[in-house]
Amino acid sequence: MREAENATPQGTACEVFRAFLKLGLTSFGGPIAHLGYFRDELVIRRKWIDEAGYADLVALCQFLPGPASSQVGFALGLLRGGPLGALAAWAAFTLPSALLLVLFAFGASAFDGPVGGGLIHGLKVVAVAVVAQAVWGMARSLAPDRERASIALAAALIVIFVAGSIGQVAAILIGGIAGLWLCRAAPSSAVGHLTFRVSKRVGAMSLVLFGLLLLLLPFVAGITQGVALFDSFYRAGSLVFGGGHVVLPLLQAEVVTSGAVNNDAFLSGYGVAQAVPGPLFTFAAYLGAVMGQGPNGLVGATIALFAIFLPGFLLLVGALPFWDAFRSRPVAQVAMRGANAAVVGILGAALYNPVWTSAIVTPYDFALGLTGFILLTVWKAPPWIIVVLMASGGVVLGLL
């Protein structure tokens, strides 16, 4: 691991905000695709962190409950710009999609018809090209030999046959254990440290606050509707691993079963949430806005959005002070080589389901996705150009 040159942030909150605003406006396709966008922009182009450090962060955030891609972004903002950088990364990456979903809550009929449907489908095809590029690039650096390629394959099979967060966590755990056995002969990398500027005291306080809120909020939820809303979304954010689509059943149980949001509104919002840039957890803002009883609208959206992200970030801040010491140990390095290879397998499985299966329906979709992949990998086209081309192509296909 490349050693940090000093203990101060290497950038500013403004720099972090600008970088993540670009990502927040162009990162379509869900959490797996976001990891590809982050890698392309922040690892390859801006070089904020090296490939191995990035893979370590991805593995850590896959272990923790919460929105994995947003947690990775939060950690990268913290690494680059300190606490203000972390907040800037979250705000810039999250607010564009949250605002779009709140606007959709007030004008859902605008996306009806072949043009709107084609646009949404084209944006799904973007995810195919981006995830395929991420899998290809990470496989070349993190699974370059037979042993690690085999671990990646095993991880892919695990998440295919064991759906949901259990399969993801099991794949990483088994990958780490397999690394102890298979990856000892792999060249050892220089390990320094990544300075997150989070003390162990702050980390411990974050973990305590996470637990107190999770345990106490249900007992005070009856005070006001606002507290009850905060409790529902905080609990959903606390109990999901990997983020993204995994949170949807929990949200449906919280808001549809209780009658706060009707099922048709829930499903239509879910469809649009898959097509807007940024984290899928911003679906909470839409749900907060369409609640049948107050607080709803902008107030409800704000409460729901803050509540669903908070537990994941508290857990991340709690884990970061201890993560660096853990991964600097020789045994941990070997285990992490296996775990990183498992991350490649998880991304590979996700490339098929849900990314490929939800986007590539016809041969024309395949041609569109292949075009995007070639433009990204061979022509090195910027992601925003791919978004524009794929969205336009989706509209054309929708009109045919």
Instruction: Write the pLDDT tens digit of every residue in 155-206.
Output: 999 989 987 667 877 888 999 999 999 988 766 554 445 668 889 999 999 9
The predicted pLDDT at position 63 comes to 74
Instruction: Write the pLDDT tens digit of every residue in 49-60.
Output: 988 888 888 888
Low-confidence ranges of the chain (pLDDT < 50): 1-8, 190-192
Query: How large is the greatest C-alpha to C-alpha distance in the chain, in angstroms?
Result: 61
The predicted pLDDT at position 249 comes to 67
What residues does 241 pair with on adjacent strands? 65
CB-based contact 37:277 (threshold 8 Å): no
**Which structure tokens are listed for 227?**
């507290």
Residue owning tokens 């299966």:
357
HEC secondary structure over the chain: CCCCCCCCCCCCHHHHHHHHHHHHHHCCCCHHHHHHHHHHHHHHHCCCCCHHHHHHHHHHHHHCECCHHHHHHHHHHHHHHHHHHHHHHHHHHHHHHHHHHHHHHHCHHHHCHHHHHHHHHHHHHHHHHHHHHHHHHHHHHHCCCHHHHHHHHHHHHHHHHCCCHHHHHHHHHHHHHHHHHHCCCCCCCCCCCCCCCCCHHHHHHHHHHHHHHHHHHHHHCCCCHHHHHHHHHHHHHHCCECCHHHHHHHHHHHHCCCCCCCHHHHHHHHHHHCCCCCCHHHHHHHHHHCCCCCCCHHHHHHHHHHHHHHHHHHHHHHHHHHHHHHHCCHHHHHHHHHHHHHHHHHHHHHHHHHHHHHHCCCHHHHHHHHHHHHHHHCCCCCHHHHHHHHHHHHHHHHHC
CB-based contact 41:22 (threshold 8 Å): yes
The predicted pLDDT at position 314 comes to 97
The predicted pLDDT at position 372 comes to 93
